[in-house]
Chain A
């Protein structure tokens, strides 16, 4: 069973600060995804990274897939209160069929005004 470890588990920052969330594994993933979940709702897909070393930007969010495809990071620049939520990374094993995902435990981000 592949495992994904996210850190930190909790992050409480002030508006305007930068932050990075990490997602690490000892296993190789064919792709890795980041989701954001708000209270009372289901996770919403933010990005999918596929190629080792790939960097994708979504406004103030920067996602990176490690060269060896075993780790990923999410960096938020100038965080805003609207960024508050649970961030989940999830990976797909290349040997896994039908899109089964392994999820990390999640990072709860709180951005204070």
Chain B
């Protein structure tokens, strides 16, 4: 049981290049999320997927696209990277721990450290 895995672990891009960050979970969770983490700003939600086949914007979606390929996999794509997208990106999945209540617990991957020059 690997939990949440992310690839790659590190990436350096030039401005304007594109790339896809991969995420997979083996916990059979319905919901998955992409966050970015910047110093002093905590974690900010980029996109989330409530279930297979659905995706929705989070707090900071501009410049990103996502694909929920199946229940296990949720990818994040940068079409034209910009220096402002230099950050650490985390994927997470969650399970509802109490039926009938909005109480979920999220599990995070190890992160992708992206630098855009």
Contact = CB atoms under 8 A, between A and B. Distances in A.
Interface string B60-93: 0000000000000000000000000000001010
B103 A42 contact: no
Nearest to B3: A42
B103 A92 contact: yes
A40 to B, nearest CB: 8
A42 B111 contact: yes
Interface in A66-109: 88, 90, 92-101, 103-106
Nearest to B29: A99
Nearest to A42: B108
A103 B58 CA distance: 13
Contacts of A30: 101-103
Interface residues of B, number: 32
A45 B42 contact: no
Contacts of A103: 42-44
Contacts of A100: 33, 45, 48, 58
Contact of A48 (B30, B103, B109): B103
Contacts of B8: none
B42 A97 contact: no
B41 interface: yes
A48 B105 CA distance: 8
A104 B44 CA distance: 10
A90 B50 CA distance: 18
Nearest to B58: A100
A95 B19 CA distance: 34
Interface in B21-39: 30-31, 33
A98 B50 CA distance: 6
13 contacts: A33-B105, A33-B106, A40-B110, A42-B4, A42-B111, A92-B103, A94-B102, A96-B102, A97-B50, A98-B48, A99-B96, A99-B102, A99-B106
